[in-house]
Structure 1
Amino acid sequence: MMLETLIALFAAHVLADYVFQTGNMVAQKDKFLYLTLHGLIVLATAIVATGSIAAPIFVLAALHLVTDAIKSRIEESIAPHLVDQLVHLITLIAISAYAPDIWKTGMWAAAPAYVPHILLLVSGAIYATRAGGFAVGILMAPYGPEFSKDSLPGGGKMIGLLERGLIYVLVLAGLPIGIGFLVAAKSVLRFETAGDKDLAENRKRSEYVIIGTLASFGWAILVSLAILFLLAQLPALGIALPKP
């Protein structure tokens, strides 16, 4: 049952960091009150997702707090952000390996066999879209906001969410060829809107779009493949899944 435990803990992590954590909490995480509040949310989501109040759940929440406390004292950039996420994921794996029966002994043990599948699919979708948005935003922040100042308010974020969501669906549906059409469509639209800019400005804007697009697509593809791999390890439900 280690895999079911890992999936439940991953779902809790995604909910705590990308659904229930507000922008103000992220900005104020260097303050004890906000850090503690986030820790309580991590603990609550882990308890609900696993249906257990086992001691390793509390250890997980404590490790999450320590990791976030360290990161809050480091200047925000893409490298610390990725390391932070990697440490969280390693912690989830370690806790699942140490206490693999958390799911089996929790209150959801008698739940239908498809529940872990749903948890994984939903948390994977959030991680591909919302978590990817934060990662790409941090990556692009040093290049400045001037290249998106003429866009619709929030337009870039919405496009990113939609493209990562579409990639997630296409990969899980076994239709990765559709990603090529997505790239082509975005390239055509970019070309059509580039004509009224001077050469230097257009080159900078194009590089900005290309970097952001590749990062967004890359994140979504990697997360989708990881979710597809984990789905293949779960007990079969009699539904054919594409090979990862």
Structure 2
Amino acid sequence: MLIFTKLLLAHLIGDFLVQPKRWIVHKEANKVRSKYLYIHVLLHFVLTMMLLWDLKYWKLVLIIAVSHFIIDLAKLYTTPLFRLRSIPFFIDQVLHLAVLYAVAYYGNLVGHTIALFEKLDWPLVTAIVFVTFPAAIIMGKLLEAMGEKIELDHKSLPNAGKYIGIIERLFVLMFIILGRWEAIGLLIGAKSVFRFNDLKESNNRKLTEYILIGTLMSFGLAIVTGIIYRG
């Protein structure tokens, strides 16, 4: 676990802390001809060796550096194929983490992976999954008839309400698991403050009632899920 932690730390420092924006721009423009691509990979090699502080790992670190070069190069050439730049970014990071995991546990990769899955708290995983998109879909169905009666006179980000609901339910579930019920009240208060201005300007009673019902339903689903999990 310590080796993986050090490898992960080296990756985070190399990819996010010490990589200037101009390096990224230069790599995207010049791709394989960019000198910063090679400097970036070399920096990863040096950082990883420094954190491990043991020359016997140099072959493993070399594997990480070479794979990092291949993954980054693939991302540079495939990014224009995606409408959202965030997609290749996350694919890139997942691949890097997979390499680090494989290198850290190469001696017992299959056994460690199986043990890792066996230790998972599956009821917690189920609870987390439920309060995300399944709960959002259930709420959408329950509020569908009411939503058709609401006339919106302002624009908002696409699916913003759905993602806000998912995040707030995850927070509520976390607070219940930690036994911090008072934090749920603070979360409701904070959301009310942010919503107050919109509701004040719209002066729409139906919209106010719709948001109130949606909020209470969202919190209610998360609370019930948390109670079932803890029970």
Considering fraction of residues, name the structure with more helix.
2
TM-score range, shorter chain: 0.3 to 0.5
Please report the TM-score for the alignment, with normalisation by the length of structure 1: 0.45
Using CA pairs below 8 Å that are at least 6 residues apart, which structure has the higher relative contact order?
Answer: 1
